[in-house]
Amino acid sequence: MNAKAGDGPQDGGFGAVEFRIDRSVPGVFAAGVSGQGGDAKAAARRWRHFVQTARAHGKSWLMVSRDLEGPVLSEAALARMMAMLSDIDLEGLRIAIVQPRLERQHIDELGALIAMEQGGMVRVFGDETSALIWLRHGSNDEPPRRGE
């Protein structure tokens, strides 16, 4: 579904992307985003929108499937994006990022680690089936720290 059809911002502030919202998965706010990536500010606005929309719909499970083209965010751009999102309350929200593109998984995994440091439960998956299994049945425990 295109963002202009009501699932995304009407002002186009999310970059050259389309959103797909899947309301058929019980208990999960499932969003897909495709199009042109590489803009940290637009990505921050998208993530803020997804988290706020999931919360507004009373969902504690968020799955975002990403199919973006174009440049991959640099680590510095990712750090700026995560700083823009540092005020978002992730308490009680489990977030699964579905990233099938290997060249983009590294930066998504780094973003997930930063989000975990900010209190989120976040994991990156290569497919939606694995992501849904984790959302529904995964551990609420923190991942083990090195040396433990």
The answer, yes or no, to whether residue 125 has pLDDT greater than 80, is yes
More confident residue, 123 or 4: 123
Backbone angles phi, psi at 146, to 5 degrees: -60, 140
Separation of alpha carbons 44 and 78, rounded Å: 9
Of 132, 144, 146, the residue nearest 30 (C-alpha): 132
User: CB of 31 within 8 A of CB of 20?
Assistant: yes
**pLDDT of the residue at 144:** 39
Band (pLDDT 50/70/90 cuts) for residue 140 is low
Amino acid at site 29: F
The answer, yes or no, to whether residue 10 has pLDDT greater than 60, is no
* pLDDT tens for each residue of 19-57: 899 988 899 999 999 999 899 999 999 999 999 999 999
Q: Which residue bears the tokens 């929108």?
A: 49
**pLDDT of the residue at 143:** 47
**pLDDT of the residue at 13:** 75
More confident residue, 67 or 145: 67
* pLDDT tens for each residue of 55-110: 999 999 999 999 999 999 999 999 999 999 999 989 889 999 999 999 999 999 99
Amino acid at site 13: G
**pLDDT of the residue at 19:** 87
